[in-house]
Amino acid sequence: MKWKKLVTLGCVVVMTVSSVTACGSNTTENQTVEATEQSEENQSDSVIVQVTAVEGDQITADVGTLTTASADASGNGAPGGEAPSGEAPSGEAPGGDDSGNGAPGEAPSGEAPGGEAPSGEAPGGDDSGNGAPGEAPSGEAPSGDAPGGQMPGGSSFEASGESITFTLTDDTAITLEYLQGSDEGNADDIAVGSVLEVVLDEDNQAVSVTVRNLNAGGGFGGSGEVTNGTSANTITEDTEVDSETYTSTGDDENALRVDGATVTLKDITIEKTAGSSSNTEDGDFYGLNAGLLVLNSATATITGATVNTSVTNGNGVFSYGEGTVVNISDSTIRTTENNSGGIQTTGGGTMNAANLDVETQGNSAAAIRSDRGGGTVKVDGGSYVTNGTGSPAIYCTADISVSDATLTANASEGVVVEGKNSVALTDCEVTGNMSNTYNGDSDENIHCIMIYQSMSGDADVGEATFSAEGGSITAKTGDMFYITNTDCEITLKDVAFTLANDVFLRVEGNSSSRGWGTEGANGGDVTLTADSQEFTGNILVDEISSMALTMKNGTSYEGAINPDGDGGTVDVTLDDNSTWTLTGDSYITSFDGDTSNITANGYHLYVNGEQVL
């Protein structure tokens, strides 16, 4: 769910009954991908369908075509992730991801929708650029103005009027298509509304199924290989350095690089004052143009550093690759341009930070940022502030834990989590202020915390995790939590919440122009546990989503669940020590607890359609 990167089509693929051919030039016209008709002669060929019913292993679907809008030669098009580094969406993506895929890169709205746009962070989202506003999902948005409307290269399904039913077997090969690349899937990834490319055998059993991503269609600017650029200064031998200054004004150049060595850096100064980035994706993924890049299983221990960058992709301190470890403490980091996070971790690297003073000014520039390949990030203490759109304080495609820190996003979501990754907050003060959605898209959501999947390939598909214990979370605008196109587990304990509106949690599909997942099959599935927690506000779960809410150990909830009527499946468990005060009629699927612990307050509770209060 990122507000991720700009997708540029190199060609339009036309599917025929027996072959797939590709064109070799760009075009601005819509092309049609024709689905094959099922018959005795062509049952082994592929067919494009949209699922209308799923009953066990039996799939019923409408046959049709995909109409594909290609990107123009400039590659302009709405990212599925972070907002472009040109016009930044208002908020980090969800609404896109860092990968440019889909809020949620840093984006949806930046680093989540409403987040940063691709390039890294998602528009209207966060760095994720994907999806949700905030940092774009995977995040960040492309480096150009992303037009509204369908993403270039995006497709829409048009039914032909024919319907088919086929069977999934244990041997069916299921593939998930991302904005870039693909991954293995399973039967649970096929839902009503999913658009599939299916190959059937003579018994009408599925040999293979590809769950199509209608925003896919080509690469989005990355080089396709690890590209770190050059360095003005490189340390390759174990050493200790004290009070040195490292500068860079070259294109695609780090001011300092630590390559494969174990190094202690004390009271150093990093100044990256000039030098353009040839590829924002390579800067987001691999550290090209960053101030300080640590890679190739190096270990850098940094204390008392001052890091300043004023270039695109000028991430302050970057840890890249498995085995690479950065330990940084008591240091100051300032970045001013787009796609320039404070501390950035990708490719399985490790970042341990303590008592940092970090502030970023650009779009798709999360203070604590991760992108493709993720890693492990641990932060203890300090201040982390962002001022651009699609720049959440945290854009997560990694395992990130933060304690005793102040996290402030002045124009984006506070936190964006994309895909099968986690954020754990302990005694933190979080503030989100997502100002608007990507490119003004009224179908995108405004929120403080976004959890989504951009389908960009920057984050593994799976259950996301968000936990907060102690501290406070303040939404200056929008909903408190927004979950779309993913499964997630949320655990809250003794957190002080300040809401901007009457929605505490919104779980729903999305139909934004950046679109995360397949519309109609891109809801959320949430497990929310409130432990010794006081909270207020409505909980909204749409018909393609679900929620299991457990309130325990003296939790107090004041609000309504789906006050406008039935939505998706909602299961509520209320222990004997917890209470629920209704602020409106509430419609849920099941209730486990004693209704004497519910204060009706003049309203009614309906369980599976039956009024119980």
- Say what the pTM is: 0.73
With contact defined as beta carbons under 8 Å apart, do 257 and 236 qualify? no
Q: Which pLDDT score, from 0 to 100, does residue 97 have?
A: 37
Residue in 30, 23, 36, 28 with CA at minimum distance from that of residue 65: 36
Amino acid at 209: V
- CA distances in angstroms from 309 to 144, 346, 470, listed in the order given: 20, 19, 34
Give the integer Cα–Cα distance in Å for 81 and 221. Answer: 13
- CA 464 to chain centroid: 10
Higher pLDDT residue, 195 or 110? 195
Quick one: residue 132, left, alpha or beta (phi over 0 = left, psi -120 to 50 = alpha)?
beta
Side-chain-side CA neighbours of 365 within 13 Å: the count stands at 38
Tell whether omega for the bond before 142 is within 30 degrees of 0, i.e. cis.
no
- CA distances in angstroms from 500 to 206, 409, 432, 472, 493, listed in the order given: 48, 15, 10, 14, 20
Q: Which pLDDT score, from 0 to 100, does residue 530 have?
A: 98
Contacts of residue 409, defined as CB under 8 A and 6 or more positions apart, other chains included, come to 92, 134, 385, 386, 391, 392, 393, 431, 432, 433, 434
Helix (H, G, I), strand (E, B) or coil at 318: strand
With contact defined as beta carbons under 8 Å apart, do 587 and 539 qualify? no
Mean pLDDT of the region 160-176: 92
Give the integer Cα–Cα distance in Å for 157 and 177. Answer: 16
Q: Name which of 94-98, 354-358, 493-497, 517-521 the model is least confident about.
A: 94-98
Q: Which pLDDT score, from 0 to 100, does residue 354 have?
A: 98
- CA 311 to chain centroid: 24
Give the integer Cα–Cα distance in Å for 492 and 468. Answer: 5
Q: Name which of 250-254, 348-352, 401-405, 439-443 the model is least confident about.
A: 439-443
Q: Percent of the chain having pLDDT more than 70?
A: 73
Higher pLDDT residue, 220 or 255? 255
Q: Which pLDDT score, from 0 to 100, does residue 609 have?
A: 94
Query: In the structure, what pLDDT confidence band is assigned to residue 520 with cuts at 50, 70 and 90?
Result: confident
Mean pLDDT of the region 211-230: 64
Q: Which pLDDT score, from 0 to 100, does residue 575 have?
A: 98
306-340 pLDDT, tens per residue?
999 999 999 999 999 999 999 999 999 999 999 99
Helix (H, G, I), strand (E, B) or coil at 284: helix
Query: In the structure, what pLDDT confidence band is assigned to residue 539 with cuts at 50, 70 and 90?
Result: very high
| CA dihedral of residues 55, 58, 62, 66 (deg, nearest 10) | 110
With contact defined as beta carbons under 8 Å apart, do 587 and 566 qualify? yes
Mean pLDDT of the region 425-450: 85
Contacts of residue 324, defined as CB under 8 A and 6 or more positions apart, other chains included, come to 294, 295, 296, 297, 298, 299, 347, 348, 349, 350
Give the integer Cα–Cα distance in Å for 547 and 366. Answer: 29
Give the integer Cα–Cα distance in Å for 208 and 445. Answer: 35
On the question of pLDDT at 351 being above 70, the answer is yes
Q: Which tokens sit at 315?
A: 């991430």
Give the integer Cα–Cα distance in Å for 505 and 483. Answer: 8
On the question of pLDDT at 92 being above 60, the answer is no
Give the integer Cα–Cα distance in Å for 470 and 69. Answer: 48
Q: Which pLDDT score, from 0 to 100, does residue 505 have?
A: 98
Q: Which pLDDT score, from 0 to 100, does residue 70 have?
A: 40
Give the integer Cα–Cα distance in Å for 113 and 51. Answer: 26
List residues bridging with 200 in a β-sheet.
Answer: 206
With contact defined as beta carbons under 8 Å apart, do 35 and 48 qualify? yes
On the question of pLDDT at 265 being above 50, the answer is yes
266-312 pLDDT, tens per residue?
999 999 999 999 999 999 999 999 999 999 999 999 999 999 999 99
Mean pLDDT of the region 186-208: 88
Q: Which pLDDT score, from 0 to 100, does residue 438 have?
A: 55
Query: In the structure, what pLDDT confidence band is assigned to residue 221 with cuts at 50, 70 and 90?
Result: very low
Q: Which pLDDT score, from 0 to 100, does residue 223 have?
A: 56
Q: Which pLDDT score, from 0 to 100, does residue 517 have?
A: 82
Higher pLDDT residue, 421 or 18? 421
Q: Which pLDDT score, from 0 to 100, does residue 408 have?
A: 98
With contact defined as beta carbons under 8 Å apart, do 151 and 4 qualify? no
Residue in 370, 378, 473 with CA at minimum distance from that of residue 130: 370
Q: Which pLDDT score, from 0 to 100, does residue 74 have?
A: 31
Give the integer Cα–Cα distance in Å for 341 and 377. Answer: 14
H helix or E strand, kind and range, residue 585:
none
Q: Which tokens sit at 174?
A: 């299921």
Q: Which tokens sit at 575?
A: 């222990």
On the question of pLDDT at 217 being above 80, the answer is no
On the question of pLDDT at 206 being above 50, the answer is yes
How far the first Cα of the chain sits from its last, in Å, is 38
With contact defined as beta carbons under 8 Å apart, do 135 and 395 qualify? yes
On the question of pLDDT at 151 being above 80, the answer is no
Query: In the structure, what pLDDT confidence band is assigned to residue 506 with cuts at 50, 70 and 90?
Result: very high
Give the integer Cα–Cα distance in Å for 431 and 239. Answer: 40
Contacts of residue 346, defined as CB under 8 A and 6 or more positions apart, other chains included, come to 284, 285, 286, 287, 318, 319, 320, 370, 371, 372, 373, 374, 375
Give the integer Cα–Cα distance in Å for 46 and 209. Answer: 9
With contact defined as beta carbons under 8 Å apart, do 212 and 515 qualify? no
Exposed / middle / buried, residue 572 (Cβ in 10 Å: 0-12, 13-18, 19+): buried
Q: Which pLDDT score, from 0 to 100, does residue 20 have?
A: 29
Helix (H, G, I), strand (E, B) or coil at 25: coil
Helix (H, G, I), strand (E, B) or coil at 440: helix
Q: Percent of the chain having pLDDT more than 90?
A: 63
List residues bridging with 492 in a β-sheet.
Answer: 468, 530
| CA dihedral of residues 132, 135, 141, 147 (deg, nearest 10) | 50
3-38 pLDDT, tens per residue?
333 222 233 333 332 332 233 333 333 333 333 333
Residue in 290, 347, 344, 355 with CA at minimum distance from that of residue 324: 347
Amino acid at 189: D
On the question of pLDDT at 130 being above 60, the answer is no
Query: In the structure, what pLDDT confidence band is assigned to residue 185 with cuts at 50, 70 and 90?
Result: confident
Q: Which pLDDT score, from 0 to 100, does residue 15 have?
A: 34
DSSP state of 597: G
Higher pLDDT residue, 156 or 205? 205
